[in-house]
């Protein structure tokens, strides 16, 4: 088994900081979408879906509510078939969604997912190797 302390110091720092950099990049991309013209395009693209009606409850004035809407609607784009079957989102909204915005939202969601998975993996491996 490889001892964590036997690795080169720069490699250790990279392994520990990389998940934060990856996840925060995804989060920054989500904040960019929430603060730009893409936010209104996103809401208008989900015009028939009940999932996007969260904006009526949460509002769209605060940054936190806008980021929440971006992240939840990004999640609907990850696996839309399940939510279409449940009737939460409309299939036409998914098929007519702007491709460039879909790409931005999916990249944001996947960066956060990969960063968090890497973080949990590193914590687990460090615990298993006995690093304190």
Q: Flag whether 131 is in a domain.
A: no
Which residues 6+ apart lie within 8 Å of 30 measured at CB?
A: 67, 70, 71, 74, 105, 108, 109, 112
pLDDT at residue 98, as a whole number: 95
Report which of 35, 46, 48, 51 is spatially closest to residue 108, judged by C-alpha positions. 35
Q: Flag whether 1 is in a domain.
A: no
What is the residue range of 95's domain?
A: 20-119
Tell me the mean pLDDT per 10 residues along the chain, length 132: 80 93 97 95 88 75 91 91 90 93 96 96 86 72
The domain total for the chain is 1
């Amino acid at each position: 088994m490889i001892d964590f302390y036997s690795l080169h110091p720069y490699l250790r720092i990279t392994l520990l900081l990389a998940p934060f950099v990856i996840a925060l990049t995804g989060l920054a991309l989500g904040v960019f979408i929430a603060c730009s013209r893409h936010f209104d395009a996103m809401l208008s693209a989900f015009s028939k879906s009940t999932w996007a009606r969260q904006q009526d409850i949460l509002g769209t004035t605060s940054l936190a509510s806008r980021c929440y809407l971006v992240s939840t609607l990004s999640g609907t784009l990850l696996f839309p078939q399940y939510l279409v079957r449940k009737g939460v989102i409309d299939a036409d909204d998914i098929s007519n969604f702007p491709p460039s915005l879909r790409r931005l939202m999916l990249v944001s969601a996947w960066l956060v997912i990969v960063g968090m998975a890497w973080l949990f993996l590193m914590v687990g491996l460090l615990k298993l190797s006995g690093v304190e």
